[in-house]
Amino acid sequence: MEIKICGIRREEDIEIINKYKPEYIGFIFAPTRRYVSPNDAAKLKEKLNGDTKTVGVFVDEKPEKVREIAETVGLDVIQLHGGEDAEYIKKLNTKCEIWKAVRVKDDGVIPDTKGADKILLDKYSEEELGGTGKAFDWLRAGDAKIKKPVILAGGLNSENVKRGIEIFSPVCVDVSSSVETNGVKDEKKIKEFTDTVRGL
């Protein structure tokens, strides 16, 4: 089971990542409290050890701007968290893997996302595009037939991740706010989460 720690923005975060070695880290290039500039992300990536891959999170950004940032940072994955569709993905014309985030509403309906390599399931919120720390209705959404590999996000923590994995059989679990204390990454919580997932 792969692990992604999202919202990385400080050198201290990278030190923790290098210790616990999740398969992915996420840099957020959208206007949220976890935003990091492309230049800062590139500097942080230089300090990254091992095989951890980098994911850039974008929300309705112009395709040419996404390509530019992906090249500047040296991203492995582009995660689209807005209203991007298959036509948009074609315009990206990138060698990066494409993850399309689907913000699941309470009805549990999951739209098909053409053009993406993997689908990331997250909680729908009118206020925020992600990182809400809240889970969607897993049981209702778990009945949907999803044809692509799933990354599970939205309110995951050390207590509920086992149940989420049982329902969705994801290829990766994605966590951010639940491994933070006062808005910054917490080594103890990251260790607890990674130990829990790898112990399953």
In the residue annotation, 6 being an active-site residue is answered as yes
Q: Which of 13, 96, 122, 172 is catalytic?
A: 122
Residue 149: partners with Cβ closer than 8 Å, 6 or more residues away? 117, 118, 119, 170, 171
* Residue 11 burial (10 A CB sphere; 0-12, 13-18, 19+): exposed
Q: Which of 6, 13, 96, 172 is catalytic?
A: 6
Compute the distance between CA of residue 189 and CA of residue 181 in angstroms, rounded to an integer.
9
In the residue annotation, 122 being an active-site residue is answered as yes
| C-alpha dihedral sign at 143, 104, 89, 46 | negative
- Residue identified by tokens 């509403």 is 105
Compute the distance between CA of residue 38 and CA of residue 160 in angstroms, rounded to an integer.
33
Residues annotated as catalytic (active site), given as ranges? 6, 122
